[in-house]
Amino acid sequence: MSEPDPPIVLHALETCMTTPILSARNIEKSFGQMRAMQGANFDIHEGEVVALIGDNGAGKSTLTKILSGVLQPDSGEIYIDNTLVHFDSPLDARAHGIETVYQDLSLAVDLNAVQNLYLGREIASPGLMGRLGFLDKALMRRKAQESFARLGVRVPDMRAAVANFSGGQRQGIAVARALMWAKRVVFMDEPTAALGVAQTRNVLDLIRRVRDTGVSVVLISHSMPDVLAVSDRVTVLRHGRRVATYTTSTVTSDELVGAMTGALEREGAAA
Amino acid sequence: MSEPDPPIVLHALETCMTTPILSARNIEKSFGQMRAMQGANFDIHEGEVVALIGDNGAGKSTLTKILSGVLQPDSGEIYIDNTLVHFDSPLDARAHGIETVYQDLSLAVDLNAVQNLYLGREIASPGLMGRLGFLDKALMRRKAQESFARLGVRVPDMRAAVANFSGGQRQGIAVARALMWAKRVVFMDEPTAALGVAQTRNVLDLIRRVRDTGVSVVLISHSMPDVLAVSDRVTVLRHGRRVATYTTSTVTSDELVGAMTGALEREGAAA
Amino acid sequence: MTIDTASSKSTTKDQASMQHEVAPQKSVIRRLLDGPELMIFGSLIIIIAIFTVMAPTAFLSGINLRNMAIEASMMMILAVGMTYVIITSGIDLSVGAVLVFSSVASLIAMRATGSDAPWVPVLGLAVALASGAFWGLVNGLLIARARLTPLIVTLASMGIALGLARLMTGGVDLTGVPRSIVTSIGIGRIGGIPVIVLIACVFASVAGIALHMTRFGLYTYAVGSNEQGARRAGIKVDRHLISIYVFSGVCAGLAGYLTLTRFSSTTISGHAMDNLKAITAVVLGGASLFGGIGSMYGTAAGVFIPVVLASGLIIVGLPSFWQEVAVGIVLLAAVLLDQYRRRTRSS
Amino acid sequence: MTIDTASSKSTTKDQASMQHEVAPQKSVIRRLLDGPELMIFGSLIIIIAIFTVMAPTAFLSGINLRNMAIEASMMMILAVGMTYVIITSGIDLSVGAVLVFSSVASLIAMRATGSDAPWVPVLGLAVALASGAFWGLVNGLLIARARLTPLIVTLASMGIALGLARLMTGGVDLTGVPRSIVTSIGIGRIGGIPVIVLIACVFASVAGIALHMTRFGLYTYAVGSNEQGARRAGIKVDRHLISIYVFSGVCAGLAGYLTLTRFSSTTISGHAMDNLKAITAVVLGGASLFGGIGSMYGTAAGVFIPVVLASGLIIVGLPSFWQEVAVGIVLLAAVLLDQYRRRTRSS
Amino acid sequence: ASASDDISVSLVLGQRNSGFHEAIACGARAAAKELGVKVNIQAAPTYSASEQIPVLNAVMATSPSAIVLDPTSSTALIAPLMEAAANGAKIVAVDTTLDDPSVLSAVVGTDNESVGRETAKALAKALDGKSGKVAQINSIPGISTVDARIKGFEEEIKKYPNLTYIGNQFASEDIPKAQQAYVSLMSANPDLIGVVSQSNNPAIGVAGGIRSTETAESVVAIAVDADEAEIEALNEGLLDALVIQQPYEMGYVGFKQAVAAVKGEPVETPIGTGTVTATKANIADPDVAKYLYEGNCI
Ligand SMILES: Nc1ncnc2c1ncn2[C@@H]1O[C@H](COP(=O)(O)OP(=O)(O)OP(=O)(O)O)[C@@H](O)[C@H]1O
Ligand SMILES: Nc1ncnc2c1ncn2[C@@H]1O[C@H](COP(=O)(O)OP(=O)(O)OP(=O)(O)O)[C@@H](O)[C@H]1O
Ligand SMILES: [Mg+2]
Ligand SMILES: [Mg+2]
């Protein structure tokens, strides 16, 4: 099924003439009989923060995984800079500068915070040792400490496995990891769900700073205030389809909620 | 260390003369060298909603686990109706009518939604079969369906293992389970962190309805709007200690944030 | 209060959308076809078909069918307990040794009576089951209460039980099994069906029903799926684990008693591989060593495959050494097929 | 961009409180003492002390120390590979069979040359290692690419490898191992230390350093800790798993070659329990079968305990069957002690 | 020459749980008692060189005056035994010998190929000229003594043109597996008239198979050794003949030779102990009964 988006009230058209750096067209994905993606579209332009919102089970995480190379869609296309691409693995997405904070965090809980931060991108020791696969643990620890401090992530013990960290502490590490490495697009699947007030504020600040360096951010969140505070545009998913896209400056929380719950569909735009 | 709470500005004294149904005194708990609870106190009265807030790692989940019988404190006392009690296991706490939504949800992911809802409290078949341990699956499924509907929890497939459910779907099941069985106190450790807007609203509604039937609710949340919307009082934890308690009607979001982050301590009450 | 009694107003909208998302309920048959056990049954049927075509008279002869059924029955009894253990994410390496210990203890007890009264075999059975239960209790206590790794605990109890069995026999197999049980159970038949097979069928059916339809079975899955979660839900996890290891021990005790009746002597050195065989059957049947997943009918299929292969390969005349090679290849083919089916179905 | 280059203003407050919560950094010694391996070392030392007191001259005789070291070395070589495998949450039941296969293949190759030129032993070693690598590759491909359960895959390859080894030998042990390697390796010593022990030490040290200090080792823990997470972090999980099973196979191949030099013949009947012994050593050493946890020095201690026990119990003259009982009891005592220490430490 | 009470002799057996090895131990104990010599008996868990050598090594560390052992391999034990000899111990091999016997003070044993030939003869005798198929069911490949017996059987059976040998099935030490192998062979070859097992465990499995298929009348089964369970099967009519070695003699004589070697007295070697073929008819004869294996000596 690759019919176009349903004719829903669009409070804003696409931010116009610039080509999106990442866009998805007619993505379909089923798990057994569950049709999680039913022809979803998605676009993000350079240096913008797009909030991706929707009800539980709307398909936000599934779309994120597809655009991060974790899942392969049943059908549909993904374009980067208008070029058709195929992501067979997360490595492919990463090669295009895409980083992701997964909703399940995807940390290796038996490793410590530093090892998680650098997982897959360790700093080798200088010289021969490095070529033999030895790692510069001291350097990585120092840099990690800097990064955590900058992000306001509190790590109770740099050498302890993250298995016993609190929910927020783990999430902080996952967020730090994605932001540290992102080149073009960061997907953040509910990055602040377990974070405290100060930490959440930090992450929102950071999202803005990242955006200002030209990296695009896709923020998935159930917190309308956060969405309104930080995003440039909002895309709403429902039953695996994009049902609306808004420019943040012209939309209200109630309108967003209406679009998510389908009140719009049933009752018109008078939510 | 069982010194009394530090002399912090208390915007409200205890709700006064009624005795708390559950109270904790001078709770200490260390994990190795990490002192997660450093003499925490906590009180909740009948039919009130107390929000328990604090920064990441402040000890909210640890306190919850101690008051649910999951963890045993190193020292300190727990009173129910002014009687000293000891919780050696979650069963002990449950025998006192205490239910909990854990931050990690504590679902058996290989079981389905109905089985999780009734886990530990299955409905036996009538008659001899029941005494042999057979279960009335049909009845449980019917009742579960009713409960989920009432709570607005969407379960994509009642017979599927919850392993592949979305984050919010799982959380909905965990919340439904605790609310369904609570008799006196429900602890809810970030119950809406993964929930959508509508589901969150539902849970907040439900907390109020539960409160109205005389059950007390302890709500742990990082969302100040939610806390302010639903709670009667707010208790703030910091570094494993209670640092303040407020009556919700007289406090602002900024004051709460100040108390959590310690701005109060350093800068006085002028947050 | 329970929310069952709370009235609801504000959620009608969500109910509507809930209906929208509920997948069509599947039929029981559809679910069985979807189950991970199916393909193992499929492999079993393919294997049987091949041997039937290659050597119809010999393979399907009454003698051979009966014997395969007996062989599978003996292994099934061990695998029944192992299924429970593996679903809790445990493992029980001691089953073979406990089998030997139970049969030795049982035979010594029967011989000690010096009588062949009809109650002697009953005593023997009681001793065998009690011995099995004892070792299961030891395992269970060390695993559930002392929180030791099942692998090490059951490895240790395996060594201890086997050593003690050998001490009790003085190192050579004992004889003197009452004739009555050899004829009535060991080689007995009812309506042409070996008694041992009937016993195993009843035993496995009861254990299967308990696993899939009762609270006990449900808790077994819950413990294997999320032990901490089960504990928090008020399940007495320790007690449950202990009873499961006791049950596994009892299974081994029963198998030990039946072994006595089959061979009319103890068979001390013949069971070193029983643990691995039982584990293989359970895993072939779709269970995961990480717990939470598995089924009794899967195990039944898993038990038959090696037995049918062993017999069929001899019948078609494959030389001895090639048989081992063939068994390995067929095992791989069976799980590959199973894996292929699961992938095409779910993504 | 990376946040390393982003400037920071608004977070000084949090930095302050972060300092507050950082636990004092522990010294290397403290961490070693805290490690789960310690108590197993402690148990080992206690066992050694007891035997030393009971039979000082015999137990500490050069002959006995040397032989225990050789015995442990042979097992260590298998356990080195098994440590990697278990940390990835896998299991390798095929090591004993691959050992036999490799030694048979190696010996047949050496005999086929009909020469005793100095390159013949080198050829033999190459054949042994290549055979091991081949079986490891088979295991690894089926586990990583076809996503089959390690237990079933390695059980199947165990049967196939053993069957083929027996086919190649015709079922009887082959002799004709070049004298030169028997004297230089099998019974050779350098500075009083058996050559086999030196080889095992170097081998285990290199593998231990690789596990604990290199990227390869780190990825091994990551894969075992959260396979999906490792994949998402860009680790080539499949390739990594394959190389680990290949490595385990190479370990078995090396052990097979050394076995030839020790016994100057193949030993096709003798390695049925090697898989369980290696797994036991690794788990005794603190590894978890659920992956993500384990260490090479833990494994080393785990290897020595059964070897020291077996030798010590014979030396103090315990009758054979009591030895089995005693080994079981000591194993339990060792893990109980370890468990006790961990509990008192962490809660 | 030294006094008897300074002498300690260690017996290192190839396997636990076998009547054969128990009987060797009993013979050695009897000799030790007679001579007033200390004896230490140890056995490997299973019959293989890689299991026996660690046991031998540990025994060596106790510096016994002599070691009596049944070598599980004719090559693998040479090196450790040379080390033991260099350590001053006299070595006596029982049951079988080594490829290089120079390290041995004495050898007391059976020729295992001839044991195999005896099983073939016993089979032919019991079949009494009938023609049909015969097979072997044995434990595992790589056990040197059994391998020799299999070879002896296969050579001898060729002399009987009425018997068609259809090969050997290895069923491991697993008794049920041997039973299953028997039944499968039966099903595939209805004209199977004879089965031979060269050691005790497969023999017990075969007996179980004969019992459950009720083929005692139509099939002749021959086995080696005289464990209690085998004797019972013989009495039950499931097995038709047992080829019995003389392990008790091996242990007794071997031990005495070892003590003699230590004392510097003359040593007789090699000493062959023969075999006896027991049937249901003659098993009660004292001449045969005295060779039945006893246990509880390890
Ligand atoms: N691996 C899977 N197997 C089966 N069903 C799945 C799987 N992953 C997701 N689903 C289903 O697909 C639908 C969409 O899930 P998804 O996780 O994308 O939702 P979401 O929008 O992220 O929700 P939430 O806000 O709760 O995180 C859900 O109904 C979920 O149950
Ligand atoms: N089992 C454990 N072992 C070691 N440390 C632990 C354990 N559980 C909690 N901690 C530590 O105790 C402190 C308090 O943790 P807790 O989970 O109670 O925090 P929290 O207030 O719930 O935080 P969050 O908002 O992030 O959930 C944290 O620093 C955490 O790392
Ligand atoms: Mg999601
Ligand atoms: Mg928490």
Closest by alpha carbon to D72, among B21, E57, C217, B75?
Answer: E57
Give the Cα separation of D258 and D247 in Å (integer). Answer: 16
**What pLDDT, in 10s, does the model give residues E215-240?**
999 999 999 999 999 999 999 999 99
What pLDDT was estimated at residue D14?
Answer: 33
SS3 state at C35: coil
Packing angle of the helix pair D119-140, D95-113 (nearest 10 deg):
150
Is residue B249 lining ligand 1, measured as CB closer than 6 Å? no
What pLDDT was estimated at residue A167?
Answer: 85
Is residue A58 lining ligand 1, measured as CB closer than 6 Å? yes
Residues in chain C, total: 347
Helices (H), D214-273: 215-225, 227-232, 237-263
User: Taking residues C208-225, what's their average pLDDT?
Assistant: 96
Q: Give the ligand at the shortest distance from the Cα of A222.
A: 1
Q: What is the pLDDT along chain A (271 residues), one digit of tens a residue?
A: 344 444 344 444 444 457 899 999 999 999 888 899 999 999 999 999 999 999 999 999 999 999 999 999 999 999 999 999 999 999 999 999 999 999 999 999 999 999 999 999 999 999 999 999 999 999 999 999 998 988 778 888 898 899 888 888 999 999 999 988 989 999 999 999 989 888 898 889 989 988 999 999 999 999 999 999 999 999 999 999 999 999 999 999 999 999 998 876 544 333 3
**What pLDDT, in 10s, does the model give residues B8-59?**
444 444 444 578 999 999 999 998 888 999 999 999 999 999 999 999 999 9
SS3 state at D178: coil
Query: And the tokens for E280?
Result: 């249901």
Tokens 């929102």 found at: A204
Contact E184, E148 (CB under 8 A): no
Taking the Cβ of residue A31 and every Cβ of chain C, the question of whether any pair is shorter than 8 Å is answered with: yes
Distances (CA, A) of D300 to D66, D70, D73, D216, D306: 16, 13, 9, 20, 11
Residues B264, B268, B269: CA angle, nearest 5 degrees: 70
What pLDDT was estimated at residue E40?
Answer: 93
The residue type found at B21 is I
What pLDDT was estimated at residue B146?
Answer: 92
Distance of CA A36 to the CA centre of its chain: 18
Query: And the tokens for E225?
Result: 């050794």
Contact assignment for D346 to B262 by CB distance below 8 Å: no
Give the Cα separation of A244 and C78 in Å (integer). Answer: 59
Contact B53, B225 (CB under 8 A): no
Contact assignment for C17 to A261 by CB distance below 8 Å: yes
User: Taking residues B260-266, what's their average pLDDT?
Assistant: 70
| Residue in D13, D23, D347 nearest the CB of B33 | D23
Closest by alpha carbon to E66, among E118, E116, E10?
Answer: E10
The H-or-E segment that residue E40 falls in is strand E38-43
Query: And the tokens for B191?
Result: 């119950």
Closest by alpha carbon to B49, among B256, B212, B268?
Answer: B212
Distances (CA, A) of B38 to B2, B41, B42, B252, E149: 8, 9, 13, 27, 77
Q: Which residues of A153-189 are buried (b: 16+ CB within 10 A; e: fewer)?
A: bbbbbbebbbebbbbbbbbbbbbbbbbbbbbbbbbbb
Distances (CA, A) of B171 to A167, B153, B181, C66: 14, 9, 16, 53
The residue type found at D290 is F
Supply the mean pLDDT for chain C.
87
What pLDDT was estimated at residue C334?
Answer: 84
Give the Cα separation of E193 and C2 in Å (integer). Answer: 76
Q: DSSP per residue over B195-225, as a string?
A: --HHHHHHHHHHHHHHHHTT-EEEEE-S-HH
The residue type found at E204 is I
Is residue A57 lining ligand 1, measured as CB closer than 6 Å? yes
Residue E237, Ramachandran bin (φ over 0: left; ψ between -120 and 50: alpha; else beta): left
pLDDT band at C27 (very low <50, low <70, confident <90, very high): low
Packing angle of the helix pair A197-212, A137-151 (nearest 10 deg):
100
User: Taking residues C144-160, what's their average pLDDT?
Assistant: 94
Least CA distance to C9: which residue of chain B? B150
What pLDDT was estimated at residue A156?
Answer: 86
Task: Indicate which CATH number applies to the domain containing D188.
Answer: 1.10.3470
Distances (CA, A) of A88 to B93, B193, D142: 49, 31, 20
Q: Give the ligand at the shortest distance from the Cα of A189.
A: 3
ipTM above 0.85, yes or no: yes
Residues of D in contact with C152 (CB under 8 A): 280, 283-284, 331-332, 335
In eight-state DSSP terms, residue E70 is -
| Residue in E18, E187, E204 nearest the CB of C63 | E187
User: How many domains does chain D fold into?
Assistant: 1
Topology of domain B15-97+182-270 in CATH is: Rossmann fold (3.40.50)
Residues C185, C188, C189: CA angle, nearest 5 degrees: 125
- Residues sharing a CB contact under 8 Å with residue E297, sequence separation 6 or more, in sequence order: C170, C171, E22, E23, E25, E26, E28, E29, E41
Residue C32 pLDDT more than 80? no
D–E interface: beta-carbon pairs under 8 A: 121
Distances (CA, A) of B70 to B176, C146, C292, D80, D272: 20, 18, 22, 38, 44
Closest by alpha carbon to A110, among D87, B65, B108, C149?
Answer: D87
Contact assignment for E212 to C262 by CB distance below 8 Å: yes
Residue D20 pLDDT more than 80? no
Q: What are phi and psi of E252, to 5 degrees?
A: -65, -55
Taking the Cβ of residue D326 and every Cβ of chain E, the question of whether any pair is shorter than 8 Å is answered with: no
Taking the Cβ of residue C149 and every Cβ of chain D, the question of whether any pair is shorter than 8 Å is answered with: yes
Q: DSSP per residue over A68-95, as a string?
A: TTSS--SEEEEEETTEEE--SSHHHHHH
Q: What are phi and psi of A136, to 5 degrees?
A: -90, 80
Taking the Cβ of residue A33 and every Cβ of chain C, the question of whether any pair is shorter than 8 Å is answered with: yes
Contact assignment for C234 to B106 by CB distance below 8 Å: no
Strands A233-238 and A241-247, by their bridges, are: antiparallel
- Residues sharing a CB contact under 8 Å with residue B233, sequence separation 6 or more, in sequence order: B12, B15, B48, B49, B50, B51, B245, B246, B247, B248
Which atom number of ligand 1 is nearest to the Cα of residue A54? 21
Give the Cα separation of D160 and A237 in Å (integer). Answer: 53
The H-or-E segment that residue D44 falls in is helix D38-54
The alpha carbon of B164 and the centre of ligand 1 are apart by a number of angstroms equal to: 7
Is residue A37 lining ligand 1, measured as CB closer than 6 Å? no
Q: CA dihedral in degrees (E212, E217, E221, E225; nearest 10)?
A: 80
**pTM, rounded to two decimals:** 0.91
**How is chain B split into domains, by residue range?**
15-97+182-270
Give the Cα separation of E199 and E224 in Å (integer). Answer: 5
Strands B241-247 and B233-238, by their bridges, are: antiparallel
In eight-state DSSP terms, residue D285 is T
Range of the domain at D191: 57-346
**What pLDDT, in 10s, does the model give residues E62-80?**
999 999 999 999 889 998 9
Residue C180 pLDDT more than 60? yes
Residue E80, number of CB atoms within 10 A of its CB: 20
Which atom number of ligand 1 is nearest to the Cα of residue A237? 21
pLDDT band at C108 (very low <50, low <70, confident <90, very high): very high
Is residue A61 lining ligand 1, measured as CB closer than 6 Å? yes
What pLDDT was estimated at residue B262?
Answer: 80
Residue A104, number of CB atoms within 10 A of its CB: 13
Question: Is chain A touching chain B, with at least 3 CB–CB pairs below 8 Å?
Answer: yes
Give the Cα separation of D248 and D275 in Å (integer). Answer: 11
